[in-house]
Amino acid sequence: MGNSEVGAKLVDDALASGKIYEDEGFGYIKESFANNTLHLIGLMSDGGVHSRLDQLQLLLKGASEHGAKRIRVHVLTDGRDAVDGSSVGFAETLEKDLAELRGKGIDAQVTSGGGRMPTHWRSLVQDIEVLVVNSSALGNSKVMTPETLLSVNIR
């Protein structure tokens, strides 16, 4: 196994055993759960090399069970290890998970701008679908420049 596989296995083991929530680092951020927001940022896919959706799901579940009352997820989609357009399905899964947390009284949402800028998204799923539909603006590139993104009318 290479370094990334070893790291992913360590994270899997820590999440499965709950040891991640006993770690000094988690204890440090847990102290602020009563009055602050937990922000999670990362890739959203099941590509397995750069991202694992199940790890995000377990972090959301575990953090809420250990006292997080307000959670914001900053989503980056993975254009390298996942099938084009698959981010819609991942977004649907994430939105379902966040809705379940909200049903338990946790203020859990997808957001952007480091938590400072409110989003006016109808939903993460709808916005990703709009970007996929407008992906022809990318041409052969997998990279959407800020200029290209701004030129796509998504509202």
Catalytic site residue from 4, 32, 123, 151: 4
Confidence at residue 114, expressed as pLDDT on a 0 to 100 scale: 40
Rounded CA separation 75/144 (Å): 15
Q: Give the distance from CA 8 to its chain's centroid.
A: 16
What is the full DSSP assignment across 23-52? SHHHHHHHTTTTTS-EEEEEEES--SSS--
Contact by Cβ (8 Å): 73, 94: yes
Confidence at residue 19, expressed as pLDDT on a 0 to 100 scale: 93
Cβ within 8 Å of residue 39, ≥6 positions away: 71, 72, 73, 74, 114, 115
Token duo for residue 83? 């099938």
**Within 13 Å, how many C-alpha atoms sit on residue 18's CB side?**
4
Q: What is the pLDDT along the chain (155 residues), one digit of tens a residue?
A: 556 677 778 888 998 899 999 989 899 999 889 899 999 988 787 777 777 888 899 999 999 999 999 999 988 776 666 677 677 788 889 999 999 999 999 999 988 644 444 445 556 666 666 666 655 555 555 555 555 555 555 44
Confidence at residue 99, expressed as pLDDT on a 0 to 100 scale: 95
Contact by Cβ (8 Å): 11, 55: yes
> Which residue's entry shows tokens 């680092």?
25
Token duo for residue 24? 């000094």
Residue 4 annotated among the catalytic residues of the structure: yes
Contact by Cβ (8 Å): 101, 64: yes
Strands (DSSP E) contained in the chain are 38-44, 70-77, 107-110
Of 134, 47, 61, 62, the C-alpha closest to 94 is 61
